[in-house]
Amino acid sequence: MTVSRITVHGDEPYDVVIGTGILGELPGLVGERPRSVAVVHDEGLPEIARPVLGVLEQAGYLVHSFAVPSGERSKDVSVLARLWSEFAAAGMTRTDAVVGVGGGATTDLAGFAAASWLRGVRCVLVPTTLLAMVDAAVGGKTGINIPEGKNLVGAFAPPAGVLCDLTTLMTVPREDYISGLAETIKAGFIRDPRILELVEADPEGAARPDGPHTRELVERAVQVKADVVGADLKEAGLREILNYGHTLAHAIEKAEDYRFRHGHAVAIGCVYAAELSRLDGRIDDALVERHRAVFSSVGLPVVYGADAWPELRSTMNIDKKTRGATLRFVVLDELGECGRLAGPAEDVLTAAYARVSR
pLDDT in tens, 216-239: 999 999 999 999 999 988 887 899
Supply the pLDDT for residue 209.
96
Supply the pLDDT for residue 234.
83
Label residue 319 by pLDDT band (50, 70, 90).
low
Q: 224 and 137 in one domain?
A: no
Rounded alpha-carbon distances, angstroms, from residue 127 to 61, 93, 148, 303: 21, 24, 27, 29
What's the number of domains the chain is made of?
Answer: 2
Q: 122 and 12 in one domain?
A: yes
Supply the pLDDT for residue 93.
98
Mean pLDDT of 265-283: 98
- pLDDT higher than threshold 80 for residue 101: yes
Task: Give CA–CA dist 24/255, Å, rounded.
Answer: 41
Among 128-137, 147-156, 163-172, name the one with the lowest average pLDDT: 147-156
Average pLDDT, the chain: 95
Q: Which of 25, 235, 240, 253 is catalytic?
A: 235
DSSP class of residue 42 equals E
Q: 335 and 189 in one domain?
A: yes
- pLDDT higher than threshold 90 for residue 72: no
Q: Is 119 a catalytic residue?
A: yes
Q: Which of 135, 155, 171 is the last residue of a domain?
A: 171
For the chain, the C-alpha Rg in angstroms (whole number) is 20
Mean pLDDT of 259-264: 93
Buried b (16+ CB within 10 A) or exposed e, 218-248: bbbbbbbbbbbbbebbebeeebbbbbbbbbb
Q: Is 262 a catalytic residue?
A: yes
- Count how many residues are written for the chain: 358
Q: 185 and 159 in one domain?
A: no
Q: 329 and 194 in one domain?
A: yes
CATH number at residue 25: 3.40.50.1970
Q: 149 and 164 in one domain?
A: yes
Supply the pLDDT for residue 233.
86
Q: What percent of the chain has pLDDT over 70?
A: 98
Supply the pLDDT for residue 279.
98
Report the binding-site residues for Zn(2+).
183, 246, 262
Q: 165 and 299 in one domain?
A: no
Mean pLDDT of 102-112: 96
Beta bridge partners of 38: 64, 98
Supply the pLDDT for residue 322.
58
- pLDDT higher than threshold 60 for residue 323: no
Supply the pLDDT for residue 317.
87
Beta bridge partners of 36: 62
Q: 165 and 143 in one domain?
A: yes
Q: Is 235 a catalytic residue?
A: yes
Label residue 149 by pLDDT band (50, 70, 90).
confident
Q: 346 and 258 in one domain?
A: yes
Tell me the pLDDT tens digit for each residue of 189-207: 999 999 999 999 999 999 9
Q: Which of 119, 259, 323, 358 is catalytic?
A: 119
- pLDDT higher than threshold 90 for residue 118: yes
- pLDDT higher than threshold 70 for residue 3: yes
Q: Which of 113, 147, 171 is the last residue of a domain?
A: 171
Higher-pLDDT residue of 320 and 338 is: 338
- pLDDT higher than threshold 90 for residue 116: yes
Q: Which of 114, 144, 171 is the last residue of a domain?
A: 171
Q: 252 and 160 in one domain?
A: no
Q: 289 and 163 in one domain?
A: no
Domain limits for position 263:
174-354
3-state secondary structure 189-229: HHCCCHHHHHHHHCHHHHCCCCCCCHHHHHHHHHHHHHHHH
Strand, helix or coil at 147?
A: coil
pTM summary value:
0.93
- pLDDT higher than threshold 60 for residue 75: yes
Q: 22 and 120 in one domain?
A: yes
- pLDDT higher than threshold 90 for residue 150: no
Q: Is 243 a catalytic residue?
A: yes
Strand, helix or coil at 284?
A: coil
Report the binding-site residues.
70-75, 104-108, 128-129, 141, 150, 168-171, 183, 246, 262
Q: Which of 41, 122, 183, 261 is catalytic?
A: 183
CATH number at residue 243: 1.20.1090.10
Report the binding-site residues for NAD(+).
70-75, 104-108, 128-129, 141, 150, 168-171
